[in-house]
Amino acid sequence: MGHPKTVQGFISMEELAITLADLDYSALQDLFATLADEIRENAKEDEIKDRYNLAYALNEAAGMLYLAAEEMSFAASMQPSSAKEAAMT
């Protein structure tokens, strides 16, 4: 395996993979389903209002994804170091 790719302040790709393996995707699926419903609903309205509403919905989704990423990072940092090392090999 190559060198782990890390960015200061973020978890490594390996740690992310470990976390994603245990992640329940139902919340993320619900988020995007809600977003899709909003887009469909707003598409019926005038273009300017639609763009504003879509931008707002995307901003909310981005915020939720950021919080999920923070939680994943925290969960990865709480793993015992031996589990992290075993997963990286």
Instruction: Report the phi/psi class of residue 21: left, alpha or beta, with left for phi > 0 and alpha for psi in -120 to 50.
Output: alpha
Exposed, middle or buried: residue 76 (CB in 10 Å: 0-12, 13-18, 19+)?
A: buried
Q: How does pLDDT run along the chain (89 residues), one tens digit per residue?
A: 454 555 556 677 777 667 666 666 677 677 777 877 777 776 666 666 777 777 778 778 777 877 787 787 777 778 776 555 555 55
Is the residue at 64 inside a domain? yes
Is the residue at 39 inside a domain? yes
Is the residue at 2 inside a domain? no
Owning domain of residue 72: 24-77
Is the residue at 6 inside a domain? no
Is the residue at 19 inside a domain? no
Is the residue at 9 inside a domain? no
Per-residue confidence (pLDDT) for residue 1, from 0 to 100 = 46
Our count of domains for the chain comes to 1
Is the residue at 4 inside a domain? no
Is the residue at 87 inside a domain? no
Report the largest interatomic distance among the alpha carbons of the chain, rounded to a whole angstrom.
56
